[in-house]
Amino acid sequence: MAYFLYRPVAALEKRGLKRVMAILLIYCLAIASLGALIYWIVPVTAAELGDLAKLYPHCVQDVQKLISQMDGISKPERLQIFIDHNLDQIETGIYNALQNFINTWYHLLNRILALIFAPILAFYILNDWEKIRDGFLNLLPPRGRVQLRSLCQEIDRIMAEFIKGYFLVAITVGLLTGALAAILGVPFPMIIGILAAITNLVPYFGPLLGGLPAVLLAWSVSLKLAIYMTLGIIIIQQLDANLFTPRVIGQKLGMHPLVIIFTLLAGGTLFGLWGIILALPAAAVLKVVLHWAHLKIAE
């Protein structure tokens, strides 16, 4: 959080504001922006969630009807024996599932507490940013200190551009997915769009996590609508993988779109999911380091 807020704080400080006032102003603007977002989006989202809640009992009834139909089907004798013999294991599985549910809420509470304390910690880091940075740099000899500071500044600049591009692509995918749902008449297009934007930040599994609820909601209307929604999501994800991400992030990083595509493919092939997640940031840092090393050799 401190890293993301440092640039706007530094910009306000250059305009004459004191560091503490700049941080507080950024916090106030963030709270105001969040409030405006809640004011405009929450009513629509709440209405859609209300409609979704009304749809839930019908889904439960369909499941109960399916279970009743299955109860009416005669079970093979071996299956019945298997169920009787493994009843204890089934009960244990249910208990473990409930235990996992409780643990999940416990971890969620910890995350919420961490989220509450994060702005406080970020405030102190931002207020003493230069002191913390210089404290690490002072561990080096003077010549290496200047060179490392220059290198870190360039890496910081390129990473900031990468983050901007990454969020821009996610917002674009969310808008397109929400618009597609609205055009096709899929229920809750606002929720679908927001979910698609958030999950698109997760490489590899993100499109699946964001697309599956949209397809299921479309399926609640008709199979034909679900097929159209699936095809639309596939097209959007292909545009994301082959056009949006390579062009937008490539432009931000000063790298050719083909280099972006090959970097993602190489990262996924060599290191799997973590390779996909870290491929572009690592490539950006490597580009800066190689350029810096080339200049030093030329000197």
CB of 173 closer than 8 Å to CB of 248:
no
Please write the tens of the pLDDT for every residue from 23-55: 888 888 888 877 776 777 666 666 666 666 665
Q: What is the DSSP letter of 140?
A: S
Mean pLDDT (whole number) for 129-144: 73
Cβ-based neighbour number of residue 201 at 10 Å: 14
**């618009």: which residue's tokens?**
179
The C-alpha atoms of residue 216 and residue 35 are separated, in whole angstroms, by 31
Kindly tell me if the per-residue pLDDT of 235 is higher than 90: yes
According to the model, what pLDDT value does residue 265 have? 82
Please write the tens of the pLDDT for every residue from 77-100: 555 566 566 666 766 766 676 677
151-190 burial, b at 16+ Cβ within 10 Å, e below that, comes to beebbeebbebbeebbeebbebbbebbbebbeebebbbbb
Mean pLDDT of the chain: 77
Mean pLDDT (whole number) for 46-69: 58
Mean pLDDT (whole number) for 236-264: 83
Mean pLDDT (whole number) for 265-272: 80
Share of the chain above pLDDT 70, in %: 76
Alpha-carbon separation of residue 292 from 141, 153, 156, 157 (angstroms): 19, 12, 14, 14
Kindly tell me if the per-residue pLDDT of 232 is higher than 90: yes
Query: Burial level of 14, CB count in 10 A (0-12/13-18/19+)?
Result: exposed
| pTM attached to this predicted model | 0.60
Please write the tens of the pLDDT for every residue from 157-186: 888 888 888 889 999 999 999 999 999 998
The C-alpha atoms of residue 161 and residue 156 are separated, in whole angstroms, by 9
Mean pLDDT (whole number) for 174-201: 89
Q: How many Å separate Cα 258 from the centre of its chain?
A: 24
Kindly tell me if the per-residue pLDDT of 64 is higher than 60: no
Q: Which two tokens stand for residue 155?
A: 């890496």
Residue with more model confidence, 169 or 277: 169
The C-alpha atoms of residue 99 and residue 91 are separated, in whole angstroms, by 12
According to the model, what pLDDT value does residue 62 have? 55
Give the highest mean pLDDT range of 123-132, 136-145, 207-216.
Answer: 207-216
Share of the chain above pLDDT 90, in %: 9
Amino acid at 173: V
Residue with more model confidence, 194 or 94: 194
**């013999």: which residue's tokens?**
85
Residue with more model confidence, 293 or 182: 182
Reported as type and span, the H/E element at residue 222 is none
Reported as type and span, the H/E element at residue 20 is helix 19-71
Q: How many Å separate Cα 120 from the centre of its chain?
A: 23
Nearest Cα residue to 289 out of 123, 94, 147, 128: 147
Residue with more model confidence, 105 or 160: 160
**């089934």: which residue's tokens?**
90
Residue with more model confidence, 65 or 222: 222
